[in-house]
Amino acid sequence: MLRVECPDCGEIVELRENTPVGSRVICVECGVELEVLSLYPLEVDYALEDEDDWEGEWEEDELEEGADEDAEGDNE
């Protein structure tokens, strides 16, 4: 059995040795859905609904970075 700490609540989440990368698991303590990113070393992160969510996150990050750069330019 593989064990990893939930990034949300800190509870130990158990996975079977043959759990495929990309699988989604739910923390029984807090109910957050996690995605298995790697088995060796074991790594999980918050699962997003679908690929469109990732695209939106990237776009928001790029917009925020651009806004930060614009704000820095105004101060010079």
Quick one: pLDDT band at residue 48, thresholds 50, 70, 90? confident
Alpha-carbon gap, residue 50 to 13, rounded angstroms: 22
> pLDDT of 15-28, one tens digit each?
998 999 999 999 99
User: Tokens 């925020």 — which residue?
Assistant: 64
28: helix, strand or coil = coil
Q: Please state whether the peptide bond connecting residue 20 to the residue before it is cis, i.e. omega within 30 degrees of 0.
A: no
Residue 58 has pLDDT above 80, yes or no: no
Domain count, the chain: 1
The arithmetic mean of pLDDT across residues 33-57, rounded, is 81
Query: What CATH number has the domain bearing residue 28?
Result: 2.20.28.160
Q: Which domain holds residue 9?
A: 2-75
